[in-house]
Amino acid sequence: MAEKSEVRAETVTMDTLVSLTKRRGFIFPSSEIYGGLASAWDYGPMGVELKKRIQEFWWREMTQLNDNIVGLDAAIMMHPRVWEASGHVENFTDPLIDCKNCKHRFRADQIPEENIKAHTCPDCGANQLTEARKFNLMFTTHMGPVEDEGGLIYLRPETAQGIYVNFKNVLQTGRVKIPFGIAQVGKAFRNEITTKNFIFRTCEFEQMEMQFFIHPSEDVKWFEHWKEKRLQYYIDLGIRPEKLRFHQHGPDELAHYAKLAFDIQYEFPFGWKELEGIHNRTDYDLKRHTEYSGKDLSYLDEQSHERYIPYIIETSAGLTRTVLVVLADAYDEEMVEGEKRVVLRFHPRIAPTTVGVFPLVKKDGLSEIARKLSDELCEEFRTFYDESGAIGRRYRRQDEVGTPFCVTVDYQTKDDQTVTIRSRDSMEQIRVQMAEIAPTIRKAIKDYKRVPGGASGGTQG
Ligand code: GAP
């Protein structure tokens, strides 16, 4: 009999996500056996798959579907002059206030005005707050054997600069003409003071950035183009559209390099927050690098013979932050026949495992058939073979890690070579010939639609 779904929960709390993702091998506190390190997290077997799928989907969207966007993977450690030219040494700061009594440190914008005026610490109550001081967010380290100023380098706080300093290299070798883009995924580091909300804001994180080089007269057109494209990307990733919105930066929010900026925000359990920034960086970066390096970074249009410094429209997404969005958005609970069912409704194209393969029981040759099937399916899909425990429990485990399809080999398989395919979302099962499993799953992935309330079209139709 088909399982019956009765009630579902609307929202998820961060505590629920932290505990589920630890229990199911998505995300662990870093160095946990030593008590952990604040704001650092490790991605476990499920988490690393999910992160890779999101990254692959972004990379495909950028470099495969746009023949005028090419990829790059620049070093994290760069010449220190890069960060002087970029303006980060001077401007990439947060105003911070310390309490001399309890030693707590706060971002000035996160303490009530009256506390600042009275110098009263919001934590310990002592009237010992310092004045606000600028604190640079870049991590520093030293390269080479001597720890002096000469060897001082920074861990990059954004991946973008690796793209700008390679502008000429790509232009000369990439067979590209303006308008064109350079895409890059990689780690970035910021010495963030307020790190809470799990992986939302961490000191070490990953970005997926694309810098689109254009003629200055076309900035409005291309800004609009990328704004719409990037919103659609998250919808295609399976995020519910009603949880996404734009937020335009006011004059006091704009980064030092931006003329115009919109965030794509997501409604996290702790409110609407930035997920991606789309910036019109004008010719700021290429001009500054021309000035600081003494190298000409202008572009010559071979048709019009015009020489100019291109403008840049940047799309800057947080990869690790997107993992949080995907988890929060996918989380669902419902009561099924009196028992709570927890299910992660990932879009099948980014689910860590695509197909679970089970023998109904371990005996009578069913394991052998299922094992062989799993070995075949894993050529095309990420597959997980499981023969331990009751079949209902095995389905529930896969629901909790968001596996969209489960294939079960039973006694009927031995007679007619058919198996069942169970859909994670609807819990419905259909019977298909073994030869039809791959085409059925392929089609279900392509046609997938998350239906409001949870259940989806599944494997039918
Ligand atoms: N290159 C432009 C740039 O870095 P940003 O708005 O500072 O712009 C872009 O960052 C994205 O990087 C953010 O929307 C967010 O998704 C991610 N991000 C920034 N700081 C982060 C942090 N401390 N932890 C996790 N993700 C972060």
Q: What is the mean pLDDT of residues 154-177?
A: 96
**What percent of the residues of the chain are helix, what percent strand, and what percent coil, each to the nearest 5?**
35, 30, 40
* CA-207 nearest atom, ligand 1: 12
Query: In whole angstroms, what is the distance from residue 397 CA to residue 248 CA?
Result: 41
Contacts of 171 (CB under 8 A, 6+ apart): 299
Closest-CA residue to 70 (of 135, 215, 158, 167): 167
Given a cut of 80, whether residue 2 has pLDDT beyond it is: no
pLDDT tens per residue across span 39-81: 899 999 999 999 999 999 999 999 999 999 999 999 999 999 9
Separation of 321 CA from ligand 1 center, angstroms?
8
pLDDT of residue 452: 56
163 and 315 Cβ atoms separated by less than 8 Å: no
Rounded mean pLDDT of the chain? 93
pLDDT tens per residue across span 9-29: 557 899 999 999 999 999 999
Higher pLDDT: 23 or 193? It is: 23
pLDDT of residue 458: 41
Q: CB of 184 closer than 6 A to ligand 1?
A: no
> pTM for the complete prediction?
0.93
Percent of the chain with pLDDT over 90: 87
Separation of 171 CA from ligand 1 center, angstroms?
27
Closest-CA residue to 75 (of 139, 162, 148, 149): 162
pLDDT of residue 38: 86
The single-letter DSSP state of residue 149 is: G
For the chain, what's the residue count? 461
Percent of the chain with pLDDT over 70: 96
Separation of 276 CA from ligand 1 center, angstroms?
7
Q: Phi, psi at residue 365, to the nearest 5°?
A: 85, 0
pLDDT of residue 138: 97
pLDDT of residue 218: 98
pLDDT tens per residue across span 408-461: 999 999 999 999 999 999 999 999 999 999 999 999 999 999 875 544 434 443
CA-closest residue to ligand 1 atom 19 = 318
Indicate the residue type of 110.
Q
Given a cut of 90, whether residue 286 has pLDDT beyond it is: yes
Query: In whole angstroms, what is the distance from residue 432 CA to residue 263 CA?
Result: 45
Q: CB of 158 closer than 6 A to ligand 1?
A: yes
Q: CB of 161 closer than 6 A to ligand 1?
A: no
Question: Tokens representing 304?
Answer: 């019009």
Separation of 25 CA from ligand 1 center, angstroms?
25
Q: CB of 206 closer than 6 A to ligand 1?
A: no
Separation of 224 CA from ligand 1 center, angstroms?
20
28 and 22 Cβ atoms separated by less than 8 Å: yes
pLDDT tens per residue across span 225-281: 999 999 999 999 999 999 999 999 999 889 888 999 999 999 999 999 999 999 999
pLDDT of residue 10: 57
* CA-157 nearest atom, ligand 1: 4
* CA-159 nearest atom, ligand 1: 1
CA-closest residue to ligand 1 atom 16 = 318
Separation of 156 CA from ligand 1 center, angstroms?
12
Q: CB of 277 closer than 6 A to ligand 1?
A: yes
pLDDT of residue 6: 44
CA-closest residue to ligand 1 atom 4 = 158
pLDDT tens per residue across span 396-410: 999 999 999 999 999
Separation of 318 CA from ligand 1 center, angstroms?
6
pLDDT tens per residue across span 106-142: 989 888 999 999 999 999 999 999 999 999 999 999 9
Which of 86, 260, 262, 316 best tests ligand 1's pocket when mutated (most atoms within 8 Å of CB)? Answer: 316
Given a cut of 80, whether residue 146 has pLDDT beyond it is: no
pLDDT tens per residue across span 361-401: 999 999 999 999 999 999 999 999 999 999 999 999 999 99
Angstrom CA distances, 212 to 70, 167, 182, 311, 352, stand at: 10, 11, 7, 8, 31
Which of 185, 211, 274, 314 best tests ligand 1's pocket when mutated (most atoms within 8 Å of CB)? Answer: 274
